[in-house]
Structure 1
Amino acid sequence: MKIKVITVGKLKEKYLEKGIAEYTKRLRPFTKCEIIELTDEKTPAAASQAENQQILEKEGKRILNKISNRDFTIALAIEGKQFPSKEFSQLLADTVLKGYSSFVFIIGGSLGLSQEIKERADLLMSFGLLTLPHQMMRLVLMEQIYRAFMIQEGSPYHK
């Protein structure tokens, strides 16, 4: 299985880089993990709704260029389905049994994701109603992916 995390924007905080590197290292025995950082569009301070929509569409096109038709795609969106960790682990296991060998997780930029990306996704997933910085969401996602593998292994990591 291969996991690809597509994100809009660059990490700026060293503590997030270190945390993500740690979980990427921990995942090596289970899966190949790739993080793809895409350029984010600069958003003017007083951007109109039309300007925001154009930004989302530009970022969406960049994301779509990194997705294959064979990828099972999970877009992180506040309106998505929420999963307890054990159900998320089971979702990954079940999806592999259905013949998918590659997962793509998509984290949008500060404006979120375009409608086109949400429609392309096989699943919209939410980590709750709290608003988290998209950069921090990478770390949270990587930890949950690692946790999912630990649950599948029967490890005491997940208590």
Structure 2
Amino acid sequence: MKVTVVCVGKLKEKYWRDAIAEYSKRLSRYMKLEIIELADEKAPENMSDAQAAEVKEREGQRILKNVKDDAFAVALAVEGKMLSSEELAEFMAKKSVGGVSHIVFIIGGSLGLSPAVMRRADYALSFSRMTFPHQMMRVVLLEQIYRSERIQRNEPYHK
């Protein structure tokens, strides 16, 4: 299976880049992993709702250009469905057995995902009702994908 993570914003701190590199290395045993970093929009501190919508729309357009038509798109969104680690493992296994060869996980910018991205998504996944920085969410997502692979194979790690 191929997994692509499309994310808005760059990793600035070395510790985030190191964590991503570690999980990317671990996941390379199980899948082809691609991480696509997109520039975030510069947003004024006190923007109007219309300005915020425009920022999300521009980021959304960049995201959608990187989601292939045949990919199964999973949007990370606070309003999505929450799954346990075991349920995520089962979800990914069912997709693979069901013929899905490419899953794209989408992490939006600081304002979230545009309505167009949410419409394109085949599934909305929530890790919590809380909001997390996109850098941290990227690490948490990769860790959970790695954990899912280990669970599916009954390999030690999942405790």
TM tier, smaller: over 0.9
Task: Give the residue type in structure 1 aligned to 2:92.
Answer: L
Counterpart of 1:17 in structure 2 is 17
Name the SS for the 2:155 alignment partner. Answer: coil
Question: 1:141, CA displacement in angstroms?
Answer: 0.3
**TM-score normalised per structure 1:** 0.98
Aligned-partner Cα distance in 2 for 1:27–1:69: 24
Question: 1:54, CA displacement in angstroms?
Answer: 0.4
Name the SS for the 1:22 alignment partner. Answer: helix
Question: 1:99, CA displacement in angstroms?
Answer: 1.1
1:50 aligns with 2:45: no
Counterpart of 2:8 in structure 1 is 8
Superposition pairs of residues 106-145 of structure 1, within 5 angstroms: 106-145=106-145
Aligned pair count reads: 159
Question: 1:156, CA displacement in angstroms?
Answer: 1.8
Deviations 1:81-121 (A, max 9, x none): 00000010010010111211001000000111001111110
Aligned-partner Cα distance in 1 for 2:70–2:87: 23
User: After the TM superposition, which segments of 4 or more aligned residues of structure 1 sit over 3 Å from their partners?
Assistant: none
Counterpart of 2:34 in structure 1 is 34
**TM-score normalised per structure 2:** 0.98
Aligned-partner Cα distance in 2 for 1:22–1:11: 14
Deviations 1:12-40 (A, max 9, x none): 11111101100000011100101000011
Question: 1:131, CA displacement in angstroms?
Answer: 1.4
1:153 aligns with 2:153: yes
Question: 1:2, CA displacement in angstroms?
Answer: 0.4
Task: Give the residue type in structure 1 aligned to 2:139.
Answer: L
Aligned-partner Cα distance in 1 for 2:48–2:73: 30
Name the SS for the 2:109 alignment partner. Answer: coil
Give me the CA root mean square deviation: 0.6
Counterpart of 1:59 in structure 2 is 59
